[in-house]
Amino acid sequence: MAPMGKFHRVTAVLTTAVLALALAACTDDRPTAEDAARTLAEGLARLDVGQSAFTAAEASEVTGELATITEGFGPGAPQVTVAGVEETGEDSATATLDYVWDLDDSDSDWTYSTTADLTRVEDVWQAAWEPALFVPDLLPDEKLTLTSVPGDRGDITGAGGEVLVTERPVIRVGIDKTGGPGGAVDRFRPCTRHPARARPGGLRGTGHRRGRGSLRGGGRPARRRDADGHRRADRCHPGRTAAGRHPGTRPNPHLRPRTPGQRGRGDGGTRGAVRRRRPGG
């Protein structure tokens, strides 16, 4: 009986070895789409994608494009991570990449996501390259630039969140004495419907008086003044802008902080001289 037991043990060992070989043959040790996406993200974060493969470009060419896109861009390189990989076929997948740029010392960062189309060709995952993979909507031959812009002016609110002061439309009126008939604005015709309230340009309460930038001709400096946007209409000529009716006036729409009832002389507007060039100067 002893030889029989030894035979069973040898058979069992051989069967186990054959099973192990079969499992090893079925194991797919080829790189996965997740591996390719992770390598691509690491390369984009270094601005060097030499370890990745691309469908229609050499890795060195893509690295050169990344250098051109970020040339002179202060923040340098972004942080890039793989948000997820979705298999769209047996040999295709789509990877979502998350970008974070630290633009300045503030707590706010520039963040966005892009997608990379991956295709497996001869056991190698290749990415489809285009500048929009690096920055959304970026076109060929475009590059990144950093420009600082002032923030929007905040509203002043009261009890219950009621807006007390906000930006409202006004018209900044510039008066050019050289732009009228014969090279000068010799006479101004204010609205005669309300003679006692008449002001140059049909604007009320703007501070245009004799001695303060009035249009009398002569050598006095021209003036500009902000007029409340609610009084844009020409009372004497409906449908026409009062400030732009007369020769020599230059209306320019603006936004300025105002309360709902602020207008006229108490509107907090500003006034200043408009410099005039002499002929040939």
List Cβ neighbours of 226 (8 Å cut-off, separation of 6 or more). 170, 171, 172, 173, 206, 254, 256, 267, 269, 270, 271
Task: Name the residue among 87, 79, 77 with its Cα closest to residue 111.
Answer: 79
Same domain, 123 and 40: yes
Report if residue 14 sits inside a domain. no
pLDDT in tens, 250-273: 777 777 777 766 654 444 445 555
Same domain, 222 and 161: yes
Same domain, 207 and 243: yes
Q: What is the pLDDT of residue 208?
A: 44
Same domain, 178 and 245: yes
- Choose the weakest-confidence range: 30-39, 78-87, 238-247: 238-247
217 or 95, greater pLDDT: 95
* Global pTM exceeds 0.85: no
Q: Which tokens is 267 given?
A: 């509107």
Q: What is the mean pLDDT of residues 122-139?
A: 96
Same domain, 160 and 241: yes
Same domain, 264 and 165: yes
Same domain, 128 and 166: no
Report if residue 147 sits inside a domain. no
- The mean pLDDT value of the chain amounts to 73
Same domain, 123 and 201: no
- Choose the weakest-confidence range: 46-55, 204-213, 225-234: 204-213
DSSP-assigned states of every residue in 245-256? TSTTEEEEEEEE
- The DSSP element (H or E) to which 169 belongs, if any, is strand 163-175
Whether residue 20 has pLDDT greater than 60: no
Report if residue 4 sits inside a domain. no
Domain interval for residue 106? 33-133
Q: What is the pLDDT of residue 111?
A: 97
Structural domains in the chain (count): 2
Whether residue 164 has pLDDT greater than 60: yes
CATH number at residue 88: 3.10.450.100
Report if residue 26 sits inside a domain. no
- The DSSP element (H or E) to which 98 belongs, if any, is strand 92-101
Q: What is the pLDDT of residue 211?
A: 41
* DSSP-derived 3-state class of residue 239: coil
pLDDT band at residue 200 using 50, 70 and 90 as cut-offs = very low
Q: What is the pLDDT of residue 96?
A: 98
- Domain final position from 133, 167, 183: 133
Q: Is the CB of residue 52 less than 8 Å from the CB of residue 42? A: no
Report if residue 25 sits inside a domain. no
Q: What is the pLDDT of residue 139?
A: 96
Same domain, 160 and 247: yes
Report if residue 179 sits inside a domain. yes
Report if residue 145 sits inside a domain. no
168 or 12, greater pLDDT: 168
CA pair distance 63, 71, nearest whole angstrom = 12
Whether residue 6 has pLDDT greater than 80: no
- Domain final position from 133, 164, 199: 133
Report if residue 9 sits inside a domain. no
Same domain, 179 and 226: yes
Whether residue 205 has pLDDT greater than 60: no
Q: What is the mean pLDDT of residues 125-153?
A: 92
- Domain final position from 75, 100, 133: 133
* DSSP-derived 3-state class of residue 181: helix
Same domain, 37 and 107: yes
Same domain, 73 and 160: no
H-only helix segments in the chain: 2-26, 33-46, 59-69
- Choose the weakest-confidence range: 47-61, 67-81, 128-142, 241-255: 241-255
